[in-house]
Amino acid sequence: MDVAQKENLDMNGKDVIQKYPKEQRYTLAILQDIQRKYRYIPRESLEALAEYLETPVSRLYGMATFYKALSLTPKGENIITVCDGTACHVAGSMVVLDELEKILGIKPGGTTEDLKFSINTVNCIGCCAIAPVMMINDKYYGNLTPKMIKEILGEYRGEK
């Protein structure tokens, strides 16, 4: 077996899938666990889950595309979420987003080639008092300015 075949087998998520009973009610939880393992839901995993649950791949694809938290494309190790709610927008969230796009070379919904960062936008993070706000993974950054972005990203790149 060559490396590509081995990687394909490893992307089927069977180790995750088989932790659950063969019941439709666990579908979303299984998809979430597969995504947690791979940072997205590989096609091979959808096919393996469809076979396991005896359901069409199209049904699983529909779920994976319906829920914004699920992704069929690889996501970065660090998920950047920029708030564009009213308070953040007025305080300059789009200027912050522009700086992120310039530094990382990606737009919202995109992932850097090295799979280090992904950018998303949301309507509200719930931290209006410190607008504009972004999160990286589970850490909040408020009162942002474009100058702060390079330094913050440096923390995640291992720069001092």
Q: What is the DSSP letter of 135?
A: E
The mean pLDDT value of the chain amounts to: 91
> What are the Cα distances from residue 123, in Å, to 92, 101, 132?
14, 18, 12
What is the pLDDT at residue 133? 98
Residue matched to tokens 């997205």: 40
Known binder of ligand: residue 127? no
Domain annotation for the chain: domains and CATH numbers = 14-66 (no CATH), 78-157 (3.40.30.10)
What's the predicted TM-score (pTM) here? 0.75
Q: Is 124 annotated as a binding residue?
A: yes
pLDDT tens-place string over residues 128-158: 999 999 999 999 999 999 999 999 999 999 8
Instruction: Tell me: pLDDT of 1 over 50.
Output: no
Model confidence over 78-123: pLDDT tens digits?
A: 999 999 999 999 999 999 999 999 999 999 999 999 999 999 999 9
pLDDT at residue number 158: 85
Instruction: State phi, psi for 33 to the nearest 5 degrees.
Output: -70, -35
Count, residues in the chain:
160
Q: Is 128 annotated as a binding residue?
A: yes
| 88 annotated to a ligand binding site | yes
Q: What is the pLDDT of residue 2?
A: 42
The per-residue pLDDT for range 43-72, each reduced to its tens digit, is 999 999 999 999 999 999 999 999 888 999
12-24 CB burial, b ≥16 within 10 A, e <16: bbbebbeebeeee
User: Residue 126 in 3-state DSSP?
Assistant: coil
Percent of the chain scoring above 90 in pLDDT: 86
* pLDDT score of 4 more than 50: no
